Amino acid sequence: MQTARIIVTGTDHKKVTSFCEDVLVVARKSGAKHSGIIPLKTKKMCVPVRRGMSGGGTETYEKYQLRVHKRIIDVKADDKTLRRIMRVDVPSEIQIGIELRN
C-alpha cells in the first residue's frame, strides 16, 4: 500500500476544510488508514497602497491582505481509494497536490 500526502491550499478556510472533510469521508468508507486534517500556518500577504492620488497632503495608506490556508492529509490506500479521492469535486478557489510515497 502506498501513502498519499494530499496538500490542500486556498484563500477561503471554510471551503478548504469542507473539501478535506469530503476526502476523509471517502477514505473512511473505503477503510483506509489516515491521519486527519493537519493545519499549517496561514500565510498573510500584505500590500500597503497610498490613498491620495497627488503627492501633497498627509500620507495615508490602505492595507490589503490575502490569506492563504494550507491543510495536509496522509492516507494509506490502494489504487481504488486514490481514484475515488481524485473524483471528489474540487472548488475553483482550491488547489490540491497529491504526492505518493512508499
CB proximity list for 72: less than 8 A, separation 6 or greater = 5, 6, 7, 8, 37, 38, 40
Give the per-residue pLDDT at 37: 92
Please name each of the domains of the chain with its CATH number.
2-101 (3.30.70.600)
**Average pLDDT for residues 51-80, to the nearest whole number?**
88
Helices and strands (H, E) in the chain, number of each type: 2, 5
**Average pLDDT for residues 83-93, to the nearest whole number?**
92
Query: Which residues lie across from 58 on neighbouring strands?
Result: none
Q: Count CB neighbours of 20 within 10 A.
A: 21
The per-residue pLDDT for range 17-65, each reduced to its tens digit, is 999 999 999 999 999 999 989 999 999 999 998 887 777 777 888 999 9
Whole-prediction pTM: 0.83
